[in-house]
Amino acid sequence: MNRLLFLLFAMAVLCLGVCTRAQSDAPAKKVVFTFDPHFSDADFTALKQAAPNLNIVFPTRDRLMAEIVDADAIVGGITREQLLAAKKLKWVQVNSAGVEGVLAIPELKHSAITLTNMKIVQGVEIADHAFALLLGLTRRIDVAVANRGTATWPSLADYGPPMELSGKTAIIVGVGGIGTQIAVRAKAFGMTVIGVDPNDIPITPYLDRTVWPDRLDSVLPEADVVFISAPHTPATEKMIGAAQFSKMKRGALFIAVSRGKIYDAMALVDALKSGQVAGAGVDVTDPEPLPKGHPLWTTGRVIITPHIAGRSDGERARFHEIYLENLIRFGRGERLRHTVDKEKGY
């Protein structure tokens, strides 16, 4: 028995040596960044120690195409031209939660290339922004900002009574990383929260109930506010249109912070004109930028921000965490975080 154990131990040591030598002799995996992530010296030291077989390249614009040709991975944006040039590509990491842009490249969508994004990572700041838009409307901050330009101190009658959120009902369309964070904030304000999502959402104290998208119309009559935080996919394009606005509780508010193509902007304009929707806060529109002369600029109580919900002073640290962990995982051949289902689009 002792001899057998010794032989097994010796074989394990030999295998470990062979495997280690094979790994050290393997060519470095080349990772090309299409932007400057501003990694610190400490970041690079950690990467070198954890994934020594990575060759990370930060090419200038004029060298980008040449470096991409033999890249195993690309971090940042990618064009169809770049994709076709990258013959060895195995992984693409994008810098946003939305991936509809890169999935519009058929050679990427229908390939074995792994796509990862920033879902969940961007939920915190976008949820903050969603509530900034909502509170701007419910507390009449939009009116106060407009009056500042004329140095007018209006009466409460001019304002109309501000709305309190406690006891109101929020419908959240898309309960992923962003929608979950919106639900946390809505529940903290004392709201009843209903999620709409194609996935089965685990029981959570932040959601009172969830329904699948085919039951959206059945819950819209309960909505005091509707949040749009779903990804843009063929299934979600224009899923909020005239029929959906008409089913909302009259005087409801509408907040969109994910993608502008999920709602029909002209249908929203009509709902605002009729008073069916009392106000809207939109960080995303279709088209973008929203052109001069578009009726959303001048119809009803609408707060428009220029697609900035995903920006914050804390995003860089969270982005770096994903970059570094996925680079280490890629170097080790491990499963990557935040992998996108390219058929579903998220």
Q: Burial, 302: exposed, middle or buried (Cβ in 10 Å; 0-12, 13-18, 19+)?
A: buried
Compute CA distances 302 → 146, 197, 287, 305, whole Å: 12, 26, 16, 10
The residues that are catalytic are: 259, 288, 307
Which DSSP state fits 212?
A: -
Q: What tokens were used for 227?
A: 């949040």
Helices (H) and strands (E) in the chain, counts: 14, 12
Residue with tokens 């935080």, as numbered in its chain = 229
Cα angle 27, 31, 35 (rounded to 5 degrees) comes to 160
| Partner residues linked to 186 by β-bridges | none
Q: What tokens were used for 287?
A: 């088209």
Which DSSP state fits 33?
A: E
Q: What tokens were used for 193?
A: 């929260």
Write down how long the chain is.
346
Instruction: For residues 197 and 164, give the distance between their C-alpha atoms in angstroms, rounded to a whole number.
Output: 27
Compute CA distances 270 → 138, 244, 267, 274, 300, whole Å: 21, 12, 5, 6, 10
Q: What tokens were used for 327?
A: 């680079």
Contact between 96 and 310 (Cβ < 8 Å)? yes
